[in-house]
Amino acid sequence: MKRFKRKILHYIQLNILPYLLQLFVRFIYLTSKKQYHHGTLTTQEKNNQNFIFSMWHGDLLMQPFNYHKFKPNHQLKVIISDHRDGETIRSLVRYLGIDSLSGSSTRGGAKALIGAIKTLKSGVDVAITPDGPKGPIYSIADGLIVIAQKTDTKIVCASSIPSSYWKFKSWDKFILPKPFGKIDFYMSEPFSVTGLTNDEAKKLIYEKMMENQLDK
């Protein structure tokens, strides 16, 4: 009986819960006023190169919409940790048109690194939350720098600022925008960390990440 209950709960977590969540997320997006601040790249420049998109863990939820507006009809894979909560997030973002790579800075790091490098070399964009999956908040994990330097790929920092929102009491200060508000979506100009030391790269990424951030 216990085994059966575990299977039911696992099914709910991987299928029913993500489906309901994506409906609510879509409802928030559709009922919100949107303004996009996506830099100066032309459509051709965006299409002719791929990027590593960096976003804080607490600002992950609305980023699929941000990406699809920035690069319509392109493919993105986000690195998501190998744990139960990660499985739920993986199912959720799949409903929102985003694929995933397994691994993180704490679990499956080597697999995530290899997968991200292969993905970028195949012409597909990669997204990473440099302070995920467990923080500390607004920290920059080495994995982002390694991937960018190994592939000589430019980084784009993605963020969103809602006019009204719920803030969770979690380590990442997770933000859920409220419906019928306004959301400002940001994408930084692409920048390179090739040739920088690890400390220099972390400092640059952090500064770029905090330029358009709700909590500074």
Give tens-digit pLDDT for 38-65. Answer: 999 999 999 999 999 999 999 999 999 9
Tokens of 151: 């592939």
What average pLDDT is seen over the chain? 91
- H/E stretch holding 183 reads strand 182-187
CA distance 156 to 201: 13
pLDDT-derived band at 89, boundaries 50, 70, 90: confident
- Tens digits of residue pLDDT in 156-196: 999 999 999 999 999 999 999 999 999 999 999 999 999 99
Q: Is a pLDDT exceeding 80 seen at residue 8? A: no
Reply yes or no on whether the pLDDT at 84 is more than 80: no
Interacting residues of 4 by C-beta distance below 8 A, sequence separation 6+: none
Residue 107 has pLDDT above 90, yes or no: no
The owner of tokens 């409903």 is 95
Share of the chain above pLDDT 90, in %: 75
Q: Are 181 and 33 in contact (CB under 8 A)?
A: yes
SS3 95: helix
109 pLDDT more than 80: no
Helical (H) or strand (E) element with 44: helix 43-47
The more confident residue out of 5 and 69 is: 69
